[in-house]
Structure 1
Amino acid sequence: MKLRALTLQNVRKFGGKSVTIRDIGDGITVISEANEFGKSTFFDALHAVFFEKHTASGKSVKSLLPHAGGAMRIGAEVDIDGAHYAIEKRFLTQKGASVTDMARGTVIARDGEAEDWITRHIGAPDQGPTGLLWVRQGVVGLEPADAKPAERDKLTEVRRDLLSSVAGEIDQVTGGRTMDAILRRCAEDLSQIATGKTLAPRGAWKEAVDATRDLQAELDVLDRQCADLADALGERRKVDEELRRLDDPGEKARRDADLRAARAAHQAAESHAQKVTAAQRDLDIATLQLGEAERDQTALAAAITAAEEAAQLLTQSEPRHRLAAQTLTTARDGETQARSTLTTAEAATKSLRDALALADRAAAAQRARDDIARLDSTLTQARAHITARADALARIAENTATPDHLTAAEAAVAAASRLRTAASARAAHMTIRYSGALRLSQSGVDLPGDVPIALHSGQDITLPGIGALRFDLPQDAGGTGAEQTQSDAVAQEQTALQACGAQTLAEARQKAQARQADDHKAHLAGEMLRTLAPLGTDALEQDLARARAVLDAAPETPIRAADSLRPDLDTAETAQAAARAHLTQCSEKVASARESLASADASLTSARSQKDRADTQAGPQQTRAPRATALRLTADTARQTVQTLAAALASVQADAPDAATAQANLTRAEAAADVARKRRAHLGERRADLSARIDTRADEGIEERRDEVTGQLQTACDTAARYAAEVAGLSRLRDTLESARDDAREAYFEPVQAELRPLLRILHDDAGLDWESDSLMPGALRRGAEVEAFDTLSGGTQEQIAILTRLAFARLFARRGQHLPIILDDALVYSDDDRIVKMFTALTRVAADQQIIVFSCRQLAFAGLGGERPLILVQDLA
């Protein structure tokens, strides 16, 4: 089947209109129009006329209804097996379907019969190849991204049916139905005793494995219990032997005798230690008394010496204090006189400064008058330039005749002029010679007389009082392609002139010159403004306000000139500085004298305090010598007592036994007796525990149970091993059969690989595809040694491979007698400039014996595809 024409009446955006695509060729046909033209509407309408029942009212049909509603009609002209047919359907209102034999001009089927005829000759949407060959806008892969599972299953079945028809039935290729039955039986047997990719045990195998694990765990417990019973019997024998040793009468008598001897020796050592302690205490008391007597003697000597030194220091401090007081009084008198001199100098300086300030304000007022005049003039000029620049920029904003727009307009006008000249040269012409007041018109514009007018097919000329004259010229009279080219050039000419805001090229040039002049004016005004007001007019206005404020603050009474005041002020300031320096010197002398007096005062106070403390400690002068003599006699007596007591302590210590050794021996003997007692009690308790454990294990019969579990474990292990061997065998059988089937399926995909291989090499010299056996979809792209999963490829590469795969599918359909056009709606949107040219080459190669219809809004990009550009006629419905 080949599509020759498509007509839409009152469909979607073509509400109230009839639009027809005619002269669709055998090879590549490109319908390249701007966005919003209605290309997707053509695609959806084509799908509806072939695959939607005329009685359908679902969402896909209702989406074709225009906003104003009404009856929709979609018609298609097709060639099938050398015959030409017209298929027409009306939806929603005045529903109907018909098939017309165009050669005989008769309707051969209507409504339900027409639907059956379409299904027989073109196919159903879920059975025929259109799901593989017709690519909707936005579809990148072989299936829509939002396709439902049922739709994906149908598309997979279409691919499977196609490949099976050209490569042979899949049962024959893969070993027949017997292999499938064996594989299914193998899988069923495996599923009974194993699960998952790892073939984990299940069913009877899992029961055997679980029983092996449980019995092994129970056997481990029984082994530990038997070992525990043997350990308990051995340990009880050792406990009985140790108890016999501890209860031996001779051993017990030896321990008691040792303890009594240790206690007697310890008591004797303690008695002698008490005597040594008493002698040491008497010696310590006498030593303390000697130390006290020596400290009293030393303290009195030190106090007498300190009192004599304090009296000498006080005698030296009193003259220094009197001299410092006199020096401070003299310094304060000098400071008072210097401060009076500074006050007089400051008053004179202030008076002269006030006079000079008045003089400076008068001079500033004069400068402010000059600044005001200058700033007023500058501000006026700046504001004028601001206004001029704003006016120029406003005109520039309204004037769209930029140099780029003018260049484009000149090129478009030149191209349109060339095409008009060429069209006029080859078109039919007519010349009107008027004899009365009536005039012929076209589209509301009167036609001139005595001028050759080019005629075009479909041109309407209004005849006043008669009607309209329509010209239907033969193909060679004008040429559809040439008319379309000229129409495009005129449209580009009008678009370029409109971009300049002009009707003619001369007007566009005038507007461009005016824009250039305004741009120069704006630039010049900006430069002048930057020269006059580099910081802006606000800064000028602020300077003007400050100058006026200075003028307003100027004094009104005459004053003395500043030049005559400055020498006097300099003299006064020099005198003031000298007076301040003299005052500073006097103040420093006062401060120094005050510090000297404070130091002398502190020294005098310290000397008096020190003398008072020393006199208090030393006592009255007449008692110091007798007190020193008495303290010396007391110390000598205490010294003799200490010597006597030290000799007595040494005598007692010489005969003392070793108390530490006696204590250690007693501790050892008591610990040995205690250890024997505690060990006897512990062994008694341990023997009772061991006897209880032995009695319990003996009653449980654990040794007999261990022998029984050992036998059960061996049986379970044998069963589990048998199932493991069965799983291994089934697994090897399954893998071997699947490997054989995979090898056979290489031949299954060879027909589509053979068609696809030369197309892929247009993009990549060494490229190839790996196919998924289940989904019959490309799984990976091979480029040399590199293999990339299909879903990891870029959007552009996925789209290119999907389109090439559709081209291969189309050739396979043709090999089995199904010829359907490939339809691409805004495809190759992700391809770069280099890849899109290569894709055009692939499309052109397949188009040698395959009809391909391409819808695209990318007019420039698809100019390199070539092919035919059919005529699209749009008319208002009567």
Structure 2
Amino acid sequence: MPRSLRSPDTMRLLILTLRNYRVHREISISLDRSRTLIGGPNESGKSTLVEAAHRALFLRAKTGGNLQREMLSTLHPGDPEVVLEFEAAGKCWELEKRFAGPRGSTRLREKGGATWRDDEADSKLAELLKCEIAGGRGAAGTLPDLWSHVWVWQGRSGEDPSSYTHRDKDRLVQHLQPSGASVVLPSVVDQGVVERISNAYETLFTAKGKWRAQSPPELARIRRDEQVEALSRASEVAARLAQAADDQLRADREICEVQAALPKLRRDLQLTEEQLQRVATLRRDEAHQQEAADFATARRVDLETQELAIRRLDDERRLKAESIAPAEAALKPLTDAESSAISAYQEAERAQFKALEMQRSARQHHDLVQASLAVIERSELLQRLLSRSRDAAALQEQLATRRSRLAQLPELAPRELSRLRQLESEAARCSAALEAMAAGVELIATQELVQLDGESLKVGELRILTGSGELQVGDRTRLRIQPGGGTTLASTRDRHLAACRTLSSALEKHTLRDLDHAVEVVDLRQSLEQEMARLETRWMALGGAGLATDLAQASVADEAAREELRRRVDAMDSAPSLPSDGNRALHEVTAKREALRVADETESRTRRQLEHAVEKRDAATAASARQREEVAAVRQSLRDLETALRTREETHGDEASRRLQRVAATELEARAIGQLAATRKSLVDHQPEQLSADLERFRRALATQESRLRDAENTRLLSRDRLILDGSHDPNAELLSARARHAAAELAHRAESRRAEAIELLHELFTSSRDAIDRAMVRPLADRISGYLQCLFGPGTEARVVLTDQGIENLELVRPNDPSFSFSTLSGGAREQVAAAVRLALAEILAADHDGCLPVVLDDAFAYSDPERISGLQRMLDLAALRGLQILILSCHPSDYVSFGAHEIRLSSR
């Protein structure tokens, strides 16, 4: 049977509900049995949904610390809660967890069966999932690895498959062994040879392929290295002795050269330092002369600036004195215009006040009649709603009666009735088959005692056998009777008993006597539901649940209208007459609205006239004020200019004295500038920059020569000591002896190395044979991965994998006419796609532990895949769904998966 047509005895996620979990206050989603697409923008809570489902399945509810704090909501109060409905082991389960640290709770309920809580619930859940439940201090490190082969977390879709397959390696091998059973296994003799070679290899080599310590080749290598080191030391001693003699001769020559050059370098350095001291004296003189020249220039500029300021003040004073008379002449007509504008404003203000009084009276009468009309209309509406409320109450009473009758009946849907009929048919078929295969034993006549299964059989008695039985005639004859061939009859009887038990369990689940009782219950429920639907339609037509609200609002509105009318009557100067019905009220509202319109137009006209008068008054007043301010400003400016002019003349003297001061300042400036130029010319002649470079050069040369002298003297002392130390014996004789010992050690090392290499070669040959067996075992896994990859990369695409103790390793992608690519060399998008194919193949194989189905969660798993590859990805995911897997995709771009044909859930941004 294809996996897509299997019974629901599989591992599937059905309904997920979150409360107070991060951004979600409360949300519930139903997942399709094969394909589900959850779409939404970033920060909409997609990843939160699958994280909550994963933690509900694999994390203990009493876990605290960072894991529990990460689940808390900063928006909604309360402990995080997750409710997950799922199928497993052929049954439907409901798992509820409240993550509250030590106060956390767990409840696992089998639909229509028992309920487990806390530790018992976690143990039962681990049994269903065939996986441990994380908890305690190590939960944060363990949790992401649980079911990591089918749960692709955001940002981890491109990881190497070896990172998430090592946990399931043993289960994977267990399922692959039947597929690779045709591989030829080694014989007992072969095993013995392999064991001897393996022991010899392990004696010589470590796990990393290096020689073991104390092994013959390693000891030979150590002896050879010791002789190499001894030969190197003898060669170094002979070389040092020859080098010491050369160093002493070279040091003597260098000491003579340095001692000859040092006196001239010291004289040149002293002369350069004396010239630089003269340059420093000239620079100090230059700084003092620059200050004097700057002071003289500043004095001259200051005197000239003061003279210009005095002349400018005198010119401004004459201009201000001439502008006073015209400003005063322009002030008289502006003052007369201001008085005329004020009189016109006062007249317009009186007319505006009269119009406002008329408008207030007209508005009072209009609002009073309008309030009276509102009281009449709202009272009529209240009466209509009261009538509808009485009718709706009668319908609700009838609905309550039907609901009570419906609640007393078992909850049995038509589709469950169909299933009961199928179970009854199956039980009937098994019963008919059992009766057809049964055998009858009848005793006609006998002189002996006849027993059937230990009980005496009387003459004329007939017994029916549905199973094997033992017939004994007398003391010496015993017969075994097996109706229907024995095994077939037993199988038929087992199926009959199983069918009867299943039918009885299904009837007991709904407290039903038999199938006729079930038909009667379904018919009665449908009849009651139809009547309730008709009554609810009539109740909704009358207003439904909103009728009570409408009635309360109408009552409040009626009371508010009456209170508004009372306030309007109290505000009138005299008691008014009110309309008695709606038509008269409408007529009076129209009349009062026309009177109010006339009053509003009169008020608007007088207001515009008043605004115009205010504008003219303000303009005249502003013009007069500006002119007065201008006259006052001119007079004040003239006084300020006269005061400033007197102050400057008192400070700096009259015009003649100021002229003499300017001439003296100019002469002082010329003398200071001349002295500064002479000093600067002397500095240029000394070339101070060149002197500094010379000083640095002489110091550097002197230091270099002194260093050479010290180094040469040290070299001469060291070489003399080396000649004394190494010259006490013959280094050349020791060098020849060391070469002979090295040659012998090298021959021994080569012999041991050849033997070790031969053992290593044999070990590699037998290991490669064992690897061939492993490759044959892993071939079914590679074929499944290749089938998925061909949906993406075309026909002929293959996957090559190696199954080691760490899981899947050395994964390669091979395409026709292209070189193979290891997983690490693929692009980001290709790594996501190949890793997804591996996950789907693993899920397909490991689903055997869960009756053929596992959920595969892909949280934004293809962030680096281009649109063209997305189409192929949908083909690959659809193939996985057809093979029985439940595919759940989360994406920020759900439009990319339109052609996937999945049940779609959209989340909005928060």
TM-score under structure 1 length normalisation: 0.50
TM-score under structure 2 length normalisation: 0.48
